[in-house]
Structure 1
Amino acid sequence: MRQMVRSKKTLVYALAFAMGCVMVADAKVACADDVVAKPAARPNFIVVFCDNLGYGDIQPFGSTVHRTPHLNRMAMEGRRFTHFCVTAGVCTPSRSSLITGCYAQRVGMHDNPRDGQVLRPISPYGLNPDEVTIAEVLRDAGYATGMVGKWHLGDQKEFLPTRQGFDWFYGIPYSDDMTAAVGKRLAPRFEGDRWPPLPLMENDRVIQSPVDRDGLTRHYTDKAIGFIQDHQSEPFFLYLPQAMPGSTRTPFASPQFKGKSNNGPWGDSIEELDWSMGKILDELVRLKIDRQTLVIWTSDNGAPMDRDMTKLTRGTNRPLHGRGYTTSEGAFRVPTLMWWPGTIPANSVCTELATTMDLLPTFVDLGGDRGVREGRSRHGKLGHTVDGKVITDLIKALPGAKSPYEAFYYYERDQLQAVRSGPWKLFVPLTEFVKHPHYRTSETAEALLFNVVTDVGCKQNVAGKHPAVVRRLMDLAQEARKDLGDRGVSGAGQRSAGRIDQPVPLSMK
């Protein structure tokens, strides 16, 4: 296993200290908050992370084909974030950013020589156990931590959720399309002939193989509610990365929803996801813990969309430009709802830029030391570089709250393609690239500047009208290259992914 300069234990202790905790003799962490306040004084956190759900796929963000009454309720009682971004157009790097609070390029989860951009079954790579995760931070602050759903940050025991801060894990280790049959079609690529049937796991044990994909959303919902019930009297963090709509052309749904929507399997799966969210919200109200629970609904990246982008059979990111799996706005900007009765103002909208990287430092802020702020979370109290920012003020809609980002970066694997600052998004000029949302691979990509606030579809290139803005964003891009690297150039702030020598298939014993 590759080792980091600092041990994981050292970093966890540094993070725990940031949350008002102190070291004790037996090398555990005791939190001052546990002494001076009841557990209920700290909020619970639930993060629902859908798979490939598009910006325009739910009614609060403009869908007119999918019925999402429970998400409508969540928006009416909570807050819509219209400029909330992930850090990659595909799932593995995107998920690594939520879990670590860092760009995938910093933690080595953006690309590898065996799998490319997305981890495949039996990969020797995974999220380095020396990284500090959101689950570890909260667990060491006294939170119960549970995960129900799709992991996709390494399927070997060394990389599984229970080795990364989660007390309990129930779900699948990678995407719903990574089945034994798909592996055989891909073979010999990715060692596809060795892929096992898609496994359902509890902790580090396979309990069903292959899993019934039609039942995933319903089973995940039941398990999530069970976790909430079991931990209702203590602070808890529930990470619920739903498998749907997923990576197949025909998403799965239970019999109660199959064939019931107006948009085929894609719509069926989304309407069942909406049902799931309603069940969870209702349970929080029933248990009378809704006013102490922050619930976040979002997606790992934008919808892939049909080849004919006017069709909705594989989701839509409209009115944003582009499809998932790219560096377009439609890939990186995702539909996001936050709900916290009594704290988040009802029927409110946040138009400021925020990202999934912000959840780790923000949960530290809300669940521990309210004084942790940007500037003390980079190389300071948090013990190592964390790219996310504290967005507590944005969540609570405090007067004058603004985005904490001077710059936000859009990478395609190891290539920096765009940078955003304020309303401006600049696609940097490129002579070579594997994929680009605005150019064909046979073309040279010239600089493109869009005002993504007023020009949501990225239709008007205004680079020629704003040369000073272009120069400023090019300077910001150069800062990213020095820190996070660029194609063929390593960055000073990059860390390594985890790696083992002899990965084995996940199978029932």
Structure 2
Amino acid sequence: MFNFKNINKILWVTAGFLVVTTVCSCQGNQGGQTDDAEVSLRDNPNFVIIFADDLGYGDLSSYGHPTIRTPYLDQMAHEGQKWTNFYVGASVCTPSRAALMTGRLPVRSGMASSEVRVLFPDSHNGLPQKEVTIAEQMKEAGYATAAIGKWHLGHKEEYLPTSHGFDSYFGIPYSNDMDNVVPFRSMGGYFEFWKSEERKDINTFNVPLMRDTEIVERPADQHTITKRYTEEAVKFINEKKDEPFFLYLAHNLPHVPLFASKEFEGTSPRGLYGDVVEEIDHSVGQVLDALKQNGLAENTIVVFTSDNGPWLIMNEEGGSAGLLRNGKGSTWEGGMREPCIFWAPGRIKPGIVADLGTTMDLFTTFSNMVNVPIPTDRVMDGVDLAPVLFEGQKSSRNDMFYYRGDKLYAARVGDYKAHYITQDPYGPDAVEHETPLLFNLSVDPSEKYDISKENPEIIAKINEAVKIHNDNMVKGPDQLKDRG
């Protein structure tokens, strides 16, 4: 039997080498150069999106974590593109996932609410059928599609992945801390619960594991959930190797409660949180190996990122946003800027990319690559990242709009970000700024130094972008508020 503790030590040394070579290689490849003899991706490339839950900007060794060892993701970054200004559509689960699936800010589909931040097991609604998903775009192009892992866009049959363009589904339909059998009456009681020993028992969380529309296990054994998601992903790749496919692998972790398999539990210097992230890294390695073994690596676009920033209030059981300010639940950078790696060896031009990108851009980029038209009957928020990925060009994205619920809190244009409203992730009091706070994110990614007084012309420029944005904003009916 393999000794995973020793393997992890070996991989850690390897990771250190890879991080060094990644920096050297990427510094030499800014702008992206590849051999003229290389050919572009053939028609119908495969797509794999690997989506972590509550993983922070600083939680991978390739993004600066000193004790979490992620050699497979580090190698992925070395061979592909590591993006340093990549955003999600919201700072909490449900709206962020809606943004990825639809290529639209979640407020447009009603998947962002001023009353309830995410969907719950007693929620009535989910992602509306009228929304077009990235999976439906792939189906139109003749792709096999599969969703594995966390969904959190509605647990009723009409809202599940199989009703939104996916041929199959295997996973937990919402957050892994839901269906908690320990009652609590307030958020304070909820956070107090996380100090108890009951959080370590899988039976405390009566979450269902589903296959397509049927519950196959309850409570889900979360000790093995990452391992089983990975096995399902590898099986799908092996079965679909002779046809184009789109795989959405959305891990429930490292969202609390934290559980790791026996092979990884107790092996990370970072503790249980590190165990969980390192097992996800191992999962990434297995997925990439399956692609390589089937001869699919050069014809598959793999993207790794996360749904929002770290849940800092969970202390050592939450992650790190690195040098970014705050975390999950906030519109500070730590809440919505995520690690993101694109990989397709020999095709994607290796390098570190500081241009702007978002999960909403995946819808547009992938649709264009398979020649499926972008919907024209609604406002779309994605841009095509293919010129950056394959041609070394600049991203056409120059702005980012930060929503909390259905209200705009901040906006970025170029290097500059203006905060119109600030609020602690779970604090009750929002502060509206008569003169917005202003930060140069290239110089000050930690958002420490307000430069609004010295730069009224920059604020005026951002204000104009916000006005144009607001003039074109039609908010969808709130899909999250109805519960019970």
The answer as to whether partners of 2:85 and 2:356 remain within 8 angstroms in 1 is yes
- SS of the equivalent of 1:441 reads coil
Q: 1:320 offset after TM fit, Å?
A: 1.1
**Distance of 1:275 and 1:330 partners within structure 2:** 25
- Out of 319, 330, 335, which is 1:331 matched to? 335
Normalising by the residue count of structure 1, what TM-score does the alignment of the two structures yield?
A: 0.79
Q: 1:480 offset after TM fit, Å?
A: 2.9
- Out of 175, 199, 211, which is 2:220 matched to? 211
1:60 is the counterpart of 2:84: no
Distance 1:209 1:448, change over 3 A: same
Q: 1:499 offset after TM fit, Å?
A: 8.7
**Distance of 2:164 and 2:477 partners within structure 1:** 16
Letter in 1 for 2:346: G
Letter in 2 for 1:441: D
**Distance of 1:439 and 1:203 partners within structure 2:** 38
- SS of the equivalent of 1:282 reads helix
- Out of 418, 441, 445, which is 1:456 matched to? 445
1:34-183 aligned within 5 A? 41-111=43-113, 113=115, 116-182=116-182
Aligned to 2:234: 225
Distance 1:479 1:442, change over 3 A: closer
Aligned to 2:388: 394
- SS of the equivalent of 2:238 reads helix
The answer as to whether partners of 1:84 and 1:334 remain within 8 angstroms in 2 is yes
- Out of 351, 363, 373, which is 2:366 matched to? 363
**Distance of 1:442 and 1:205 partners within structure 2:** 42
The answer as to whether partners of 2:119 and 2:480 remain within 8 angstroms in 1 is no
- SS of the equivalent of 1:351 reads strand
**Distance of 1:420 and 1:119 partners within structure 2:** 28
Q: Which moved more, 1:273-282 or 1:385-394?
A: 385-394
The answer as to whether partners of 2:125 and 2:482 remain within 8 angstroms in 1 is no
Letter in 1 for 2:415: P
**Distance of 2:247 and 2:427 partners within structure 1:** 40
The answer as to whether partners of 2:53 and 2:251 remain within 8 angstroms in 1 is yes
Q: 1:247 offset after TM fit, Å?
A: 3.2
Aligned to 2:436: 447
Aligned to 1:351: 354
- SS of the equivalent of 1:185 reads coil
- Out of 265, 273, 278, which is 2:285 matched to? 278
Q: 1:162 offset after TM fit, Å?
A: 0.3
Q: 1:368 offset after TM fit, Å?
A: 1.8
1:301-355 per-residue CA deviation (whole Å, 9 max, x = no partner) reads 01112477xxx54110011111211001011100001100111123x11110000
The answer as to whether partners of 1:200 and 1:210 remain within 8 angstroms in 2 is yes
1:496 is the counterpart of 2:484: no
- SS of the equivalent of 1:495 reads coil
**Distance of 1:442 and 1:395 partners within structure 2:** 39
- SS of the equivalent of 1:447 reads strand
1:386-407 per-residue CA deviation (whole Å, 9 max, x = no partner) reads 11111111122x24x2232343
**Distance of 2:396 and 2:425 partners within structure 1:** 27
Q: 1:122 offset after TM fit, Å?
A: 2.4
Q: 1:481 offset after TM fit, Å?
A: 2.9
1:448-471 per-residue CA deviation (whole Å, 9 max, x = no partner) reads 111111111111111111110101
- SS of the equivalent of 2:136 reads helix
Letter in 1 for 2:476: R
The answer as to whether partners of 2:135 and 2:164 remain within 8 angstroms in 1 is yes
Unaligned runs of 5+ in 1: 1-38, 189-194, 485-492, 504-509
Aligned to 2:400: 408
Aligned to 1:185: 184
Aligned to 1:197: 206
Aligned to 1:320: 324
Between the two proteins, the alignment pairs up a number of residues equal to: 428
The answer as to whether partners of 1:51 and 1:300 remain within 8 angstroms in 2 is yes
Q: 1:187 offset after TM fit, Å?
A: 8.8
The answer as to whether partners of 1:126 and 1:154 remain within 8 angstroms in 2 is yes
Aligned to 2:259: 252
Aligned to 2:470: 481
The answer as to whether partners of 1:54 and 1:303 remain within 8 angstroms in 2 is yes
- SS of the equivalent of 1:49 reads strand
Q: Percent identical across equivalent pairs? A: 37
Letter in 1 for 2:219: P
Distance 1:51 1:499, change over 3 A: closer
**Distance of 1:236 and 1:442 partners within structure 2:** 44
- SS of the equivalent of 1:301 reads coil
Distance 1:450 1:170, change over 3 A: same
**Distance of 1:200 and 1:44 partners within structure 2:** 27
Distance 1:280 1:211, change over 3 A: same
**Distance of 1:172 and 1:307 partners within structure 2:** 22
- SS of the equivalent of 2:51 reads strand
Distance 1:58 1:162, change over 3 A: same
Aligned to 2:196: none
- SS of the equivalent of 2:453 reads helix
Distance 1:307 1:121, change over 3 A: closer
Distance 1:112 1:171, change over 3 A: farther
Distance 1:502 1:277, change over 3 A: closer
1:269-315 per-residue CA deviation (whole Å, 9 max, x = no partner) reads 0000000000111111111111100000000001112477xxx5411
The answer as to whether partners of 1:419 and 1:473 remain within 8 angstroms in 2 is yes
Letter in 1 for 2:166: F
**Distance of 1:473 and 1:442 partners within structure 2:** 21
The answer as to whether partners of 2:48 and 2:302 remain within 8 angstroms in 1 is yes
**Distance of 1:350 and 1:385 partners within structure 2:** 27
Aligned to 2:197: none
- SS of the equivalent of 2:318 reads coil
Distance 1:304 1:133, change over 3 A: same
**Distance of 2:241 and 2:314 partners within structure 1:** 45
Aligned to 2:248: 239
**Distance of 1:164 and 1:187 partners within structure 2:** 34
RMSD: 2.6
